Amino acid sequence: MREVTLKHIAEILEISVATVSKALKDYPDVSAKTKKRVKELAETLNYKPNSFAVNFRTRESKTIGLIIPEVVHHFFSNVIKGIIAQAEKKGYLVIILQSNESYQLEKKQLGLLVSKRVDGVLMSLSNDTVDYKHINNVLDRDIPLVLFDKTAKLINCSKVIIDDRKAAFIATEHLIRSGCKHIAHFRGPLLPLNSIDRFLGYKKALETYDIKYDPSLVYTCNEVTFEEGYNFTQELINTQKRVDGLFAVSDLVAIGAIAKLNELKIKIPEQISVIGFSDWLMSSAITPSLTTIGQPGYLMGKKAFKRLFVEMAKIRKKQPFKYKTIELPTSLIVRNST
Amino acid sequence: MREVTLKHIAEILEISVATVSKALKDYPDVSAKTKKRVKELAETLNYKPNSFAVNFRTRESKTIGLIIPEVVHHFFSNVIKGIIAQAEKKGYLVIILQSNESYQLEKKQLGLLVSKRVDGVLMSLSNDTVDYKHINNVLDRDIPLVLFDKTAKLINCSKVIIDDRKAAFIATEHLIRSGCKHIAHFRGPLLPLNSIDRFLGYKKALETYDIKYDPSLVYTCNEVTFEEGYNFTQELINTQKRVDGLFAVSDLVAIGAIAKLNELKIKIPEQISVIGFSDWLMSSAITPSLTTIGQPGYLMGKKAFKRLFVEMAKIRKKQPFKYKTIELPTSLIVRNST
């Protein structure tokens, strides 16, 4: 049989579906004897209450949607883990969709989640999302939505973020304080706020320490891959410019750079210091181990769900609330590459 | 407003809910004029049909459940990505739960997914799952369920796997053919089939090439971590035994071993060759780059969903079908550590 329903139980016991339902919920107007018969049969048949039905009464699906640009990504997998752990604690299931950094897909997926009546949505924007109508539509309909990590200033909603600009400043400052004077930056794509902020933090640090900004030392990683780090390092070396420090937008890019520098027998950190961003699992395992900025992915996931949980309750009770931006601390993790 | 319903539309137009519903579905017994009024208002109000309601008619939720031991894991994130991509193609959403390698949690999560009326379940067993009643219960109720990667011989259902024993044989054989005669194995936990099979493949290769099996060269990684690889390598070196090859149950363990060997200035592969298993993202980036067994995670995810999709259709149409075991090919990826 596909699924035991109230109807099956009612037919077998020759009572009404309503009585079965009431019996299972211990309504006072059903006799103890009937309750016992219903409950015993329900157990024998391994009856499971239909959660989608529950949904009609409480108007809750106890399910939230999560849209994430990329699942195979050390930082994002940690965020997912944090979200699932916290959601599970509160009895929520998580539907996960991957936007592949595509605005079109992200938009379609958000519509799908809303049509599925999720109770709330957690999202990290794709790299090419510049129009926010799809998100504002959801917020306008009082569906709770919290953004994390990759957000946009123009969207008015709650956000869980790190201060990318400050963290990038600290990373660059660390290179300067280690004696670097000619610092290259392998930046992220042009649009997302976090790669802009990391770039601005880099510039700000140079300015603060009276180092002239040289745009020819900045390379843009559109895909943020190992290969880009590897190839741009070759290009950088080919320019014959003096470079003694490199700040990469992510550990993966930094590790690509280290692979190329190792290949060229350029000594790290003696000839060039390298710092990454994110603290990937492997960053402590490579040679030399990578200095980086620790970004609390698991905590970010937990905090994002917690905030969503608060807003879901507020909206359910029709209570007013204000959007909050929660900023999580990052840390400078000094290893052997600087 | 929380959500536009059929009732809202009916009230505004002063017609019945049934008429609104029929109008939206183009029933012939509703006038063209009414249909037009209903559809226009539905569009203005941004009405979305309730997917949970649809569920009652078709008995489908267009949602599947996925239980995975660990999300933050290069191989499993690739599997998740493959599953989501394939599910999306077929209009299915994926609810993801993480069992944290715990049988108790896995059991609870499976019950939860069933009570949520998912159309099917994809699962990879946790390391401490030895009782399969929870899975057999689900199969007995004709709820489609497909296991992948970590499976059990005693469960009769469809499975998507690799031949771990053969792959481990090839890995060990590669070490032997490179001239290794004293080969250590850092194995996985005692229970899961894949770590047993990898161990048996290692033993079989030794036997085939007339190398005496020495149990003191086998260490058990219960958590399969970088730290275990790192620490067991120190222990192995401390024994002062002759060791010229190491086959690690996963790349992460192998990379831990490499980090320790580098630290001890033991030359890889000159003094000891190292081979891993799984081909993690970073395995090509470390020094020396790691020889390993490529395991097709993304493909495994796609194949698992495809098989589930077939079985969901068969069960829906009440057609008989046979369980299938789909075995995916692995590959030996030779790099600089051997």
Residue among B48, B59, B84 minimizing CB distance to A96? B84
User: Which of B49, B71, B116 is closest, CB to CB, to A115?
Assistant: B49
At B96 the pLDDT is: 92
What is the C-alpha R_g of chain B?
26
Q: Residue A1's closest chain B neighbor by CA?
A: B141
Q: Give the closest of B2, B51, B59 to A115, CB-based.
A: B51
* Mean pLDDT for all residues in chain B: 90
Q: Residue A271's domain spans which residues?
A: 164-294
**Same domain, residue pair B301 and B157:** yes
Q: Which residues of B touch A2 (CB under 8 A)?
A: 59, 141-142, 315
Instruction: Find the CB nearest B51 among A116, A262, A282.
Output: A116
Kindly indicate the confidence band of residue A64, based on its pLDDT and cuts at 50, 70 and 90. Answer: very high
| Phi then psi dihedrals of residue A71, to 5 deg | -80, -40
One-letter amino acid at B49 equals P
A285 to B114: CB separation less than 8 angstroms, yes or no: no
Write out the two tokens for A1. Answer: 């049989």
B81 neighbourhood in chain A, CB within 8 Å: 71-72, 98
Query: B335 in a domain, yes or no?
Result: no
Residues B289 and B305 in one domain: no
Classify burial at B319, counting beta carbons within 10 Å of its beta carbon; exposed 0-12, middle 13-18, buried 19 or more: exposed
Q: Which residues on B lie below 8 Å from A287 (Cβ)?
A: 259, 262, 286-287
Instruction: Calculate how close chain A gets to B53, using CA atoms only, in Å.
Output: 8
How does A90-111 read in b/e, with b if 16+ C-beta sit within 10 Å? eebbbbbbbbbbbbebbbebbe
The beta-carbon neighbor of B55 closest among A52, A77, A226 is: A52
Q: Which residues of B touch A51 (CB under 8 A)?
A: 115-117
Residue type, A36: K
Q: Give the full edge-to-edge strand order of the sheet including B183-187.
A: B218-220, B183-187, B245-248, B273-275
Peptide bond into B320 cis (omega under 30): no
Same domain, B39 and B96: no
Question: What is the pLDDT of chain A when averaged over all its residues?
Answer: 90
Residues of chain B in contact with residue A262, where contact means CB-CB under 8 angstroms, are: 287
Nearest C-alpha in A relative to B290: A286
Is the domain of A34 the same as that of A86?
Answer: no
Tell me if residue B273 falls in helix, strand or coil.
Answer: strand
pLDDT (0 to 100) of residue A54: 40
Nearest to A84 among B55, B96, B113 (CB): B96
Q: What is the pLDDT of residue A55?
A: 46
Residue B338 within a domain: no
- pLDDT, tens digit, 9 for 90 and up, residues B22-41: 888 778 788 888 988 888 88
Query: Do both B260 and B321 map to the same domain?
Result: no
Contacts of A178 (CB under 8 A, 6+ apart): A245, A269, A273, A338
What kind and span of H or E run contains A223? Answer: none
**Per-residue pLDDT tens digits for B307-337:** 999 999 999 999 999 999 999 999 999 999 9
- Best probe of the A interface among B4, B60, B96, by most A CBs < 10 A, is B96
Length of chain B: 338
How far apart are the C-alpha atoms of A70 and A186, rounded to whole Å? 20
Instruction: Compute CA A97 distance to the chain's CA centroid, rounded to the nearest angstrom.
Output: 11
* All residues at 6 or more sequence positions from B220 whose CB lies less than 8 Å from its CB, including other chains: B187, B188, B189, B190
Q: Yes or no: say if A334 and A324 are a contact pair by the CB < 8 Å rule.
A: no
pLDDT tens for residues A134-177?
Answer: 999 999 989 999 999 999 989 999 999 999 999 999 999 999 99
Whose tokens are 């796609």? That residue is B302
pLDDT 10s digits, A82-124: 999 999 999 999 999 999 899 999 999 999 888 888 999 999 9
Residue B43 lies in a domain: yes
Q: Which residue of B lies nearest to A85 if distances are taken between CA atoms?
A: B98
Nearest by Cα to A275 from A220, A208, A211, A198:
A198
**Biggest distance spanned by C-alpha atoms of chain B:** 90
Identify whether residues A25 and A113 lie together within a single domain: no
- B266-274 average pLDDT score: 96
Q: Is residue B337 part of a domain?
A: no
Size of interface A-B (CB pairs under 8 A): 151
What is residue B188's predicted lDDT score, i.e. its pLDDT? 96
Residue range B259-263: average pLDDT?
Answer: 88
Residues B140 and B75 placed together within one structural domain of the fold: yes
**Do B255 and A280 lie within an 8 Å CB cutoff?**
no
In a domain, B54, yes or no: no
Q: Collapse the DSSP code of A247 into the 3-class scheme (helix H, G, I; strand E, B; otherwise coil) and give the result.
A: strand
Interatomic CA distance for residues A97 and A116, integer angstroms: 13
The whole-number pLDDT of residue B50 equals 55
Kindly state whether residue A334 falls inside one of the protein's structural domains: no
**Most A-contacting residue of B282, B295, B319 (CB-CB within 10 A), to test interface:** B282
Task: Please check whether residues B93 and B125 belong to one and the same domain.
Answer: yes
CB contact under 8 A, A88 and B73: no
Q: What is the arithmetic mean of pLDDT over A291-318?
A: 96
Count the domains in chain B.
3
Inter-chain residue contact B315 with A2, CB threshold 8 Å: yes
Inform me whether the pLDDT recorded for A24 exceeds 90. no
8 Å CB contact of A48 and B112: no
Chain B closest CA to A183's CA: distance in Å?
A: 23
**What SS3 state is found at A63?**
strand
For residues B158 and B174, state if they share a domain: no
Is A337 inside a domain boundary?
no
Contact A122, A310 (CB under 8 A): no
> How far, in Å, are A8, A125, A263, A291, B238 from residue A234 at the CA level?
70, 31, 10, 21, 41
Separation of CA B225 from chain center? 18
Average pLDDT over residues A265-273: 95
* Model confidence pLDDT, tens digit, residues B97-156: 999 899 999 999 999 888 888 999 999 999 989 899 999 999 998 999 999 999 998 999
User: Cα(B49)–Cα(B11) distance, rounded to whole angstroms?
Assistant: 17
Residues B191 and B237 in one domain: yes
A47 pLDDT above the threshold of 80: no
Strand, helix or coil for residue A325: strand
Q: b or e along A231-269 (b: 16 or more beta carbons within 10 Å of the residue's beta carbon)?
A: bbbeebeeeeeebbbbbbbbbbbbbbbbbbbbeeeeebb
pLDDT of residue B56: 45
Q: How many residues comprise chain A?
A: 338
Residue A336 lies in a domain: no
- For residue A211, give Cα distances in angstroms to A177, A202, A247: 12, 11, 15
Note whether B177 and B248 are same-domain residues: yes
CB A122 within 8 A of CB A304: yes
Choose among A48, A111, A284: nearest Cβ to B114. Answer: A48
CA distance A124 to B314: 37
| Cβ contact B279:B295 at 8 Å | yes
CB within 8 Å: B282 and A285: yes
Domain containing residue B79: CATH number: 3.40.50.2300
Helix, strand, coil shares of chain A, percent, nearest 5, are 45, 15, 40
Which pLDDT value is given to residue A115?
83
A169: closest CA of chain B, how far (Å): 27
Q: Are residues B177 and B258 in the same domain?
A: yes
Q: Quick check: ipTM above 0.85?
A: no
pLDDT score at B52: 43
The answer, yes or no, to whether the previous bond of A49 is cis (omega within 30 of 0) is: no
- Smallest Cα distance from A143 to chain B, Å: 7
